[in-house]
Structure 1
Amino acid sequence: MAFRIEFFVNDIEKSVVFYQNILRLKLLQQGENSASFISDESHLLLTSFDVLEDNHYFKKHNFAKLGGGVEFIIITDQVEELYKSIKQKKPNSIESDLKQQTWGMVDFRVIDPDGYYIRVSSKRK
Structure 2
Amino acid sequence: MGMTLRIEIFPADIDASVEWWSALGFEVLGRKDDPPYASLGRDGVRIGMVQSPWRPAEHRAVPSGTEIVLAVDDVRAERDRVVAAGIELAEDLQEREWGLTDFRMRDPDGYYLRITDRRS
What TM-score, normalized by structure 1, do the two folds share?
A: 0.77
Query: Which residues of 2 match residues 1-125 of structure 1 at below 5 A?
Result: 1-21=3-23, 23-32=24-33, 33-50=36-53, 64-66=55-57, 67-68=60-61, 69-91=65-87, 93-125=88-120
Deviation beyond 6 Å, 4+ runs, structure 1: none
Q: Percent identity?
A: 30
Q: For the residues of structure 2 that align with 1:77 and 1:25, how far apart are their CA atoms? A: 16
Partners of 2:25 and 2:42 within 8 A in 1: no
SS in 1 for 2:68: strand
Q: What is the aligned residue count? A: 111
Unaligned runs of 5+ in 1: 51-62
Q: Aligned AA for 1:82?
A: E
What TM-score, normalized by structure 2, do the two folds share?
A: 0.80
The structure with more helix, counted as a fraction of residues? 1
Q: Aligned AA for 2:45?
A: S
Q: For the residues of structure 2 that align with 1:6 and 1:95, how far apart are their CA atoms? A: 22
Unaligned runs of 5+ in 2: none
Q: For the residues of structure 2 that align with 1:24 and 1:42, how far apart are their CA atoms? A: 11
* 1:40–1:24 CA distance, 2 compared to 1 (3 A): closer
Q: Aligned AA for 1:28?
A: L
Q: CA deviation at 1:41?
A: 4.1
